[in-house]
Amino acid sequence: MDFQLTEEQEMIQATARDFARSEIVPVAAAHDESGEFPLDTIRKMGELGLMGIEVPDEYGGAGLDTIGYVLAMIEISAADAAHGTIMSVNNSLFCNGILKYGSEEQKQKYVREIATGEQIGAYALTEPQSGSDASRMRSRAVLSDDGSHYVINARKSWITSGPVARYMVLFAATDPDAGGRGITAFLVDSEREGLSLGKTEPKMGIRASATCEVELNDYRCPVEDRLGKEGEGFKIAMSVLDAGRIGIAAQAVGIAQAAYEASLEYARDRKAFGKEIGSFQMIQAKIADMKCRLEAARLLTLRAAWTKMQASQTGARFTAEGSMAKLVASEAAMWIAYQAVQIHGGMGYSKEMPVERYFRDAKITEIYEGTSEIQRMVIARSETGLR
Ligand code: CAA
């Protein structure tokens, strides 16, 4: 076992950290307040290779490994989780699926613009009636008589980056009676006729990442924009989420790290009863427990990334490792952010300090890309072999 990072991993970590501190930290609170999508910083992140970290150079990406992706995601999310969300969708949910299941033409056409940050990508799985029970979707795609295109009618909800995304990976049933085995994945273009945006969600946290409903009404999707085979869509959705959950685990580690570091600084500076509050045992216990949970989450996340890298050689699944990392890291982020607010006292409840934002942002990591309850189900199924 070797905990040493490679030169390339250290380089992407340092690049992301420098950018996050100089360009994202100064604007994070204002974007959280206004809810404005941070297009300027996202474009710059694209220029640095942060929007397609694992995408090979030939398709416009940085060509690095999953550990590099995790390290960069931690740094960006420590500065602002909303930037982390946008970055994770472009990297894990959009580019990753096309690299794994797409044709050469699809990789050339769709991956480059998203990996370079010129365009934003989205992933459209969830529907108003199906969230955790993802295979029970109502969206339908029907192949035209001449076999040239599919006609898609769909209503998708909670689409991260939906309001600004040019392209989306979208799932619809081509054989509704076949359940999960009747779902197919498509690449859709928001500038094409038949796709419209619905209501924007007014969110508690990650407010600068835009989220909305997306509707497709008789949208004509050329057959060459089908991703994978007919009926393969649910497996594509699930295996893309396996990788996505590692990204969300990294986002949670970033939020937890920011909350922990703010608390450490405050505990050293703030005085009460004639002493720094960090010298009181009740605060010391919190600091020790926060640090342990933070480092445990970081290790589990890096191990999941490493397992995914090994799996890319063998084709093995890394489902349980991704779920364990996401479960532990998201619950650590929520707990650490909660303690951070408490350590800051009244100032923790004020928008003048970033910890109240960390607290609001942490919550989503326990919900999206599979709730904590779904992660427990996935892990227990994998351990017991029972369903
Ligand atoms: N990789 C490959 N194949 C997989 C798989 C995986 N990780 N997981 C399941 N499958 C396959 C199974 O092998 C099975 O194949 P067969 O039909 O050949 O037997 C098929 O898929 C169906 O599997 P299950 O019977 O296990 O499916 P299920 O209906 O019981 O559901 C579930 C499993 C784990 C609950 C799944 O529905 C799930 O993960 N739900 C959560 C959905 C989710 O995470 N949504 C997040 C939305 S995206 C988002 O949040 C993005 C964002 O905003 C940023």
For residue 294 the two structure tokens come to 């933070």
Q: What is the 285 CA–ligand 1 centroid distance (Å)? A: 39
Task: Determine the residue of 234, 324, 364 to mutate for testing ligand 1's pocket, defined as the one with the most ligand atoms within 8 A of the Cβ atom.
Answer: 234
378 Cβ below 6 A of ligand 1: yes
Residue 155: beta bridge partners?
215
pLDDT in tens, 164-189: 999 999 999 999 999 999 999 999 99
Query: What does R_g of the chain's alpha carbons equal in angstroms?
Result: 21
Q: Is the pLDDT of residue 62 over 90?
A: yes
Rounded to an integer, the average pLDDT of 74-82 is 98
pLDDT in tens, 127-171: 999 999 999 999 999 999 999 999 999 999 999 999 999 999 999
Q: Is the pLDDT of residue 110 over 90?
A: yes
**Is residue 369 among the annotated active site residues?**
yes
Domains annotated for the chain, with CATH where assigned, are 7-120 (1.10.540.10), 122-232 (2.40.110.10), 234-384 (1.20.140.10)
Rounded to an integer, the average pLDDT of 265-293 is 98
b/e map of 80-114 (b: 16 or more CB within 10 Å)? bbbbbbbbbbbbbbbbbbbbebbeeebbebbbbbb
Active-site annotation holder among 23, 213, 331, 369 = 369
220: confidence class by pLDDT, cuts 50, 70, 90: very high
Of all protein residues, the one whose alpha carbon is nearest to atom 19 of ligand 1 is 181
Q: Is the pLDDT of residue 1 over 90?
A: no
Q: What is the 235 CA–ligand 1 centroid distance (Å)? A: 7
Rounded to an integer, the average pLDDT of 27-50 is 98
365 Cβ below 6 A of ligand 1: no
321 Cβ below 6 A of ligand 1: no
This model's pTM is above 0.95 = yes
| pLDDT value for 210 | 96
298: confidence class by pLDDT, cuts 50, 70, 90: very high
